[in-house]
Amino acid sequence: MHDAVNQSGHVGTVVASEKEFDEFVVEAMPQLLDRATALTKRFLRETGQWAEDIGHDKFAVRWGYEMVERFIICARVEVPCRPFLLLESFVTRYYSQPDALYYHKDQTHPLGRYLDALLSRAVLSRDALMALFHHLYGFNQTSVAKLLGINREESQRVYKNFERWRESGWQRVMEDTGVSDEDLDQLEQDQRRFPERVNHETDRILRTLQIHYRKSDPARYPCLTRAQWESLFREDYGFDYRTWHLPFCHDCCVLVCAIREEELQLDDKLQIDLHVRPLVKGRTLALVGTARGGNHHHDT
Amino acid sequence: MTHDSPIMAYRDHVIERLRSLIRNRHRLDGGRMDLFVNLERVGTLDGARSDASFVHTCRGHVIHHVEVRSEEGRLIGGLNASERAMRMSRVHLPGRTLNLEVRNRMDEGSVNLAIHSGPTPLSRIQRLVKRAAAGLKKGPGGNPDRAWATATAQIVLAGAVLALGADRYLASTREPQPVRVGETEMAALEAQIDRLTQAEAANRQLVESQRDELAQLRKSLADMAAAQQRTASEIKSVSRAADDRKNGGDRDIEHVTRVLLSKAEAERAQFRKELHGLVLANETLAKQVTALENSNVDLKTRLKSAGVDVSKVTTTKGAGLAAAEKQTEVDMTQMAEGRSGSSMQPFTFWVSFQEGTSEENIDHMIREVHGSKGMVDQGWYPVELPSPPPDPLEGFLESVRHTRFVKAVSMTHLSPSAPNR
């Protein structure tokens, strides 16, 4: 892009130590990002997934960023090396793997990009994982504890660093994935004006994204039947499975809400209720219940 | 482009994020660490524990990429695995070291994530206090003043170390900083590094030796494959040669048979032709003999009637004789004409000359019999006479046979092995 001229001067540079590698990467970061972005664009063009619009441009930059992020950490063991050539081989190798890149045209729209940002981060971060209950259904910590059937101690452990997400994590994810403040404002405005349409669209996009990102944990990928879910809560096992699977599977979440309607006290069947911004601090509730299995949870 | 501005803003933000990643790559948020293999989460490790480890094995496919992420999803460590080799990565975090090791084999791979924590300030203090206590126990057996002095010095040293340790502990809780170590720890670390270096060198040597063995195995496999190919090609060539030889022998026999058959056929045709000529000549001779006998009978009849008439009619004697003579002349003329008609056919016989006879001598001999020479065939010269030789034929041929340079004479063209002498 803009640093193509400078990039040519960096191509043949050899770094001999980790210190040199760090210095070089900091100095040549724009060129490295542009190179990874250009390779991503080429991959999208060659696979017929490219269009000249801001959504696709942001998508390419985002994937270029992810490539460079991995490169910075993983290429360290390759020193001595030529970083630019190594980056190219790194990116090419990544895209040559089967199903290397998840691309969907909805990812280039603000709503799709927003949901993709939330779910892609939830794969990596437990804070983001727990936050999905709020962003998708408007659940607070108490509701989540009831839904998952966990006691107060476990709830505190799960939500231990949730403050970090609320303060900076969510904002950083939005910035890192290219969801601008204007996009967020527009989403909120649409949500206020046409809530049904937005929620319906969210439901549609969410099913595709959830199936993709749930693959990142094969052990917790499969869905359970109603009888299996009932058994799981009755006999109180599979805590990690429920904590992971339910935020990534809308259908199972609806099923579990139906099973646990007595604890949750929902008026209707669980439906998507998009909350664009994170829960404000004052509305977070602590959990008092002590027993597991969701039998004795109380709000304070 | 119209959307350059938001893209550039996003790009600048991303660049800044990447730079901060480099700056904070030694920082660890929380204790939990997630291990991702080929972008799939395979396990979690409690980073707060010392000397914890996690092993994961992939069956049926190799490992391409390994990542270790903190609880909030920040990338801490990772590496790209080799196809069929071992690869290691070491990440230094505050107070601990993260060792990542990936081994790929033919159709499986394994990853080993281990945390090795360094000595904590508390453990160092405990060790020092133990040493001091041991020094005090030795006191009663020796000089009391010296023992007190030693104990006092050790207590002072322990206090100083405690203060130093507390200071460092507080500093480490305030902000993560690289751990500073004393001389003894440094020496221990150096010794550990030396041991690790030696182990690494040994591993490297082992890997190299395995690589050499693998190369030798590959080479021997290649040689074996080449030898197999050579053997197969030799077998093919031998079988082909045997087939060729068999086919060649059959062909030779067929050729000889065909030559002999064609020669026999040609000889048979020649015989048939000569037989046909003899039949024609025989018929002609039979006709001439019949004509002569008829004329002879006629002449006898006329002679008888002429003898009767002589006694009856004298006057008509002259006329009858003249008529008889005339008739006899006519018959004789007719006989002569018939004979000359048959003698006008050309007569051919075959002559074989002795070896070394010149063409001049051959031509001379043929001129002597008033003949003409034809094309020589297998040493036999056809000699054509414009008319059959005077009787007897055998005498004519015998005279030719006794001519100088003549080896054999034949009425028919036969092969030299069986001439009609």
Percent of chain A predicted with pLDDT > 90:
51
* Separation of first and last alpha carbons in chain B: 119
Interface contact A87, partner B, CB < 8 A: no
Residue B93 near residue B26, CB atoms below 8 Å: yes
Alpha carbon distance A281, A283 (integer Å): 5
Nearest residue on chain A to B39, alpha-carbon basis:
A216
A89-103, A136-150, B64-78: range with highest mean pLDDT: A136-150
Among the partner-chain residues A68, A160, A216, the one whose CB lies closest to the CB of B40 is A216
pLDDT at B132: 57
pLDDT at A206: 93
Nearest CA-CA partner of B325 in B299, B291, B304: B299
Determine which helix (DSSP H) or strand (DSSP E) holds B115, and give its type and residue range.
strand B108-117
Q: Which residues of A touch B9 (CB under 8 A)?
A: 180
Subunit contact B7:A57, Cβ cutoff 8 A: yes
Per-residue pLDDT reduced to its tens digit, B103-144 = 888 788 899 988 887 655 556 666 666 665 565 555 444 455
Among the partner-chain residues B10, B11, B73, the one whose CB lies closest to the CB of A128 is B73
Find the DSSP H helices in A138-225: 141-148, 152-158, 162-164, 170-176, 181-193, 195-214
Q: What is the amino acid identity at position B394?
A: E
Cβ within 8 Å of residue B73, ≥6 positions away: A121, A123, A124, A125, A128
Subunit contact A61:B71, Cβ cutoff 8 A: no
* ipTM of the complex as predicted: 0.78
Task: Give the minimum alpha-carbon distance from A168 to chain B in angstroms, rounded to a whole number.
Answer: 11
Cβ within 8 Å of residue A114, ≥6 positions away: A174, A179, A183, A184, A187, A276
- Map residue A15 onto helix, strand or coil: strand
Chain CA centroid to CA A297, Å: 29
Alpha carbon distance B362, B368 (integer Å): 10
Between the alpha carbon of residue A202 and those of residues A177, B52, B99, the distances in Å are: 18, 41, 42
Scan residues 114-143 of A and list those with Cβ closer than 8 Å to B.
121, 123-128
- Token readout for A193 is 């004006």
A192-200 mean pLDDT? 93
Subunit contact A22:B11, Cβ cutoff 8 A: no
Nearest CA-CA partner of A38 in A2, A14, A6, A72: A2
pLDDT at B82: 76
Q: Which residues of B touch A67 (CB under 8 A)?
A: none
pLDDT at B316: 46
Alpha carbon distance A202, A199 (integer Å): 5
Among A44-58, A118-132, B145-159, B247-261, the range scoring the smallest mean pLDDT is: B145-159
pLDDT at A30: 93
Task: Give the minimum alpha-carbon distance from B103 to chain A in angstroms, rounded to a whole number.
Answer: 15
A56-62 mean pLDDT? 93
Task: Give the minimum alpha-carbon distance from A74 to chain B in angstroms, rounded to a whole number.
Answer: 4
Interface contact A82, partner B, CB < 8 A: no
Q: Which residues of chain B have pLDDT under 70?
A: 1-3, 28-30, 118-152, 171-183, 248-249, 307-344, 390-391, 413-421
Best mutation target, A18, A62, A74, A132, to test chain B (most B CBs within 10 A)? A74
Residue A173 near residue A113, CB atoms below 8 Å: no
Cβ within 8 Å of residue A282, ≥6 positions away: none
pLDDT at A9: 65
Alpha carbon distance A70, A124 (integer Å): 14
H/E/C letters for each residue in B26-94? CCCCCCEEEEEECCEEEEEEECCCCCCEEEEEEECCCCCEEEEEECCCCEEEEEECCCCCEEEEEEEEC
Best mutation target, B2, B3, B8, B15, to test chain A (most A CBs within 10 A)? B15
Subunit contact A121:B73, Cβ cutoff 8 A: yes
Task: Give the minimum alpha-carbon distance from A265 to chain B in angstroms, rounded to a whole number.
Answer: 32
Q: Which residues of A touch B87 (CB under 8 A)?
A: 77
Beta strand extents in B149-242 (DSSP E only): none
Subunit contact A54:B3, Cβ cutoff 8 A: yes
- Map residue B413 onto helix, strand or coil: coil
Q: Which residues of B touch A70 (CB under 8 A)?
A: 65, 67, 75, 78
Alpha carbon distance B236, B242 (integer Å): 10
Task: Give the minimum alpha-carbon distance from B222 to chain A in angstroms, rounded to a whole number.
Answer: 30
Chain CA centroid to CA A65, Å: 15
Alpha carbon distance B328, B255 (integer Å): 65
Q: Which residues of B touch A162 (CB under 8 A)?
A: none
pLDDT band, residue A66 (cuts 50/70/90): very high
Subunit contact B40:A123, Cβ cutoff 8 A: no
Residue B412 near residue B420, CB atoms below 8 Å: yes
Subunit contact A70:B78, Cβ cutoff 8 A: yes
Binding-site residues on chain B for chain A (CB distance < 8 A): 3, 6-7, 9-11, 13-15, 17-19, 21-22, 25, 29-30, 32, 34, 36, 39-41, 64-65, 67, 69, 71-73, 75-80, 87-89
Alpha carbon distance A32, A83 (integer Å): 9
Subunit contact A176:B32, Cβ cutoff 8 A: no
Q: Which residues of A touch B82 (CB under 8 A)?
A: none
Among the partner-chain residues A61, A70, A90, the one whose CB lies closest to the CB of B75 is A70
pLDDT at A273: 92
Q: Tell me if the bond preceding B392 is cis, omega within 30° of 0.
A: yes
pLDDT at A246: 95
Subunit contact B40:A54, Cβ cutoff 8 A: no
DSSP secondary structure code for residue A77 in this structure: G
Cβ within 8 Å of residue A34, ≥6 positions away: A1, A2, A3, A4, A7, A64
